[in-house]
Chain A
Amino acid sequence: MARMATSRHVAVSTIAAWLVGFLIFFPILWMVLASFKTELDAFAIPPKFLFFHWTTENYAAVQERSDYVHHALNSIIVAGGSTLIALLIAIPAAWSMAFSPTKRTKDVLLWMLSTKMMPPVGVLVPIYLIYRDFGLLDTLTGLVFILCLGNLPIVIWMLFTYFKEIPKDILEAARMDGATISRELVYVLTPMAVPGLASTLLLNLILAWNEAFWTLNLSTLQAAPLTVFIASYSSPEGLFWAKLSAASTLAIAPILVLGWFSQRQLVRGLTFGAVK
């Protein structure tokens, strides 16, 4: 058979794939390595790849000099809070559109999608002024609120595509067997909805964790999540490469792990169900 994978074919594509994969991953690897170097080694030319004096002093220094934990907590509150609130608002909406669609459901969905297409910079001025007047600048409440609204359309869309796949026959079967609405909800629907809910939750945690337009514009210090904290290294502090790398490694590690777990749902979520 022509299409049988010959061992030569496997060898060639394996080598090529690993090489390309390594190249793409390299900047991250290089950053992690730099985070364990002394500042001098991080600058060294020729670069030191593995044989340098390994140290964890940068991680201690990052916390000491700039209160890393404070910003990490902000990130957790902002990403987690905005995602949970968005889910609470989106679940009933997606549920009703998936299970009792009307003629207008499709229009409503497309309209929701269109709100996501509005560039945030188009409404930067009024949002900034409203936040200033209501004392929401540099507050966690303000950030949670704006990220929640920003991601709401995606959350609704994702949940909708998942809910729609729950076969309606199952509901009818349960009803025939005499299940009440509440039992139906607890024993039949919830278990079937959990995978969809979980991947929606994961994807939105990632999006909110990495959001860097509103966080940069609406927070400076007190409420600053990690995106803003890292940005502070762009000024003279940027000269401290090892510390920048340590701070960056800490900032992306949790989300990299979450992301790797959710990569299969990622495609679906980000394409609004258009590619599965």
Chain B
Amino acid sequence: MLLTPAVALLFIWMIVPLALTIYFSLLRYNLLDSESAQFVGFENFRYFLTDPAFLASLQNTLVLVGSVLGLTILLGIPLALLLDQPVIGRNIVRLMVIAPFFVMPTVSALIWKNLLMHPVSGLFAWIAKLFGAPSIDWFNDVPLFAIILIVSWQWLPFATLILLTALQSLDEEQKEAAEMDGAGALSTFIYITLPHLARPITVVILIETIFLLTVFAEIFVTTGGGPGLQTTNIAFLIYSQALIQYDVGGASAGGLVAVVIANIVAFFLVRIVGRNLEA
């Protein structure tokens, strides 16, 4: 059957690594000392879940995902509304707005970190000085916020583009009818535009969450998770356990925890999207 290769590949891709992760998670197994692999039951999970680093990174993950979602949607809605207006040269503006989405994560992170956020020679520091404000050492004073800004810049175009696409399919006549009935711009927005955007907003939340839960490169090239644990998210914590500390068992337990978290999110979001699709 035509479907077989795809299904088989995806099945193997899903089952084999997952099974191995489960198996490793029950072992005490360090790569530096591979003879020592021994069965320890749920020891790794106990260790991982009670590790203060886990709680810190879980919190960072939630703050990161939540803030980026909030920023991209709250800024994306007015931006999409603006681009939906009659604008001279709209196509060029669209190109400028969408551009950050195509920039590879390592590039955007390093350009922001150096050219813009550098505490002495960065552009932000210079602007702060113009206004007589003290310059911020972004990656020391507010490291997680700095990461949030970079990631939001990357994802704002995505949210905007989807919301704009949805706005353009909004029935003009409905809006006109509302205005004829004396509805102001604000109530037109609240009662007609916003409900129309409910589904695209849900879709934005779903897709961004999938990608944001695993933000990695931006942290890897800027802070390396630090200072301390301030910018370590779950993905980065597992990476450092696996490939820096070579703790295969611990990292596997952490990996399974990440899979469970992602599945919880996916479960709720798919339900919401499903309900939206049927409505």
Contacts and interface: CB of A to CB of B under 8 A. Distances in A.
Interface of A: 2-3, 5, 9-10, 13-14, 16-18, 20-22, 24-25, 27-28, 30-31, 34, 42-47, 89-90, 92-93, 95-97, 108, 110, 112, 114-130, 149, 152-153, 156, 206, 209-210, 212-213, 216-217, 226-228, 230-231, 233-234, 238, 241, 244-245, 248, 251-252, 255-256, 258-260, 263, 266-267, 270-271, 274-276
B242 A234 contact: no
Given A230-B110, A271-B200, A271-B203, 18 more contacts: A5-B86, A17-B90, A30-B116, A31-B107, A89-B5, A93-B5, A124-B239, A124-B243, A210-B104, A212-B104, A216-B220, A226-B104, A234-B222, A256-B103, A260-B98, A266-B98, A266-B101, A267-B161
A96 B222 CA distance: 45
Contacts of B10: 112, 115, 149, 152-153
Contacts of A14: 86-89
Contacts of A152: 6, 9-10, 13
A60 to B, nearest CB: 20
B105 A212 contact: yes
Interface residues of B, number: 98
Nearest to A30: B115
Provide the main secondary structure of the chain B interface: helix
A153 B14 CA distance: 12
B17 interface: yes
B67 interface: no
Contact of A238 (B88, B110, B157): B110
Interface stretch (B46-54, B140-148, B208-216): B208-216
A230 B144 CA distance: 22
B138 interface: no
Those 8 A-B pairs whose CB atoms lie nearest each other, nearest first? A126-B20, A212-B217, A123-B17, A259-B102, A93-B6, A25-B96, A92-B2, A13-B85
A120 B165 CA distance: 30
Nearest to A127: B17
A244 B114 contact: yes
Interface in B169-224: 169, 172, 175-176, 179, 199-200, 203, 207, 210, 213-214, 216-217, 220-222
Contacts of B105: 210, 212, 227
B263 interface: yes
B73 interface: no
Nearest to A31: B111
Provide the main secondary structure of the chain A interface: helix
A117 B262 contact: yes
B258 interface: yes
A234 B158 contact: no
B255 A123 contact: yes
Interface in B1-52: 1-3, 5-7, 9-10, 13-14, 16-18, 20-21, 24
A259 to B, nearest CB: 4
A153 B266 CA distance: 15
A115 B161 contact: no
Contacts of B79: 20
7 contacts: A115-B14, A118-B262, A122-B21, A206-B102, A217-B239, A234-B220, A252-B107
B123 interface: yes
A10 B7 contact: no
B95 interface: yes
Q: In the complex, which of the residues B13, B104, B207 has the most CB atoms of chain A within 10 Å of its own CB atom?
A: B104
B158 A256 contact: no
B126 A24 contact: no
A133 to B, nearest CB: 11
Contacts of A255: 102, 104
Contacts of A2: 179
B65 interface: no
B69 interface: no
Interface string B254-269: 0110110011001000
Q: In the complex, which of the residues B6, B110, B120 has the most CB atoms of chain A within 10 Å of its own CB atom?
A: B6
B235 interface: yes
Contacts of A46: 126
Given A17-B85, A112-B10, A122-B256, A25 B97 contact: yes
Contacts of A114: 266
Given A3-B179, A10-B86, A92-B2, A238 B114 contact: yes
Contacts of A238: 110, 113-114
A13 B87 contact: yes
Contact of B252 (A118, A119, A125, A274): A125
B214 A93 contact: no
A153 B13 CA distance: 11
Contacts of A117: 210, 262-263, 266
B3 A124 contact: no
B279 interface: no
B101 to A, nearest CB: 7
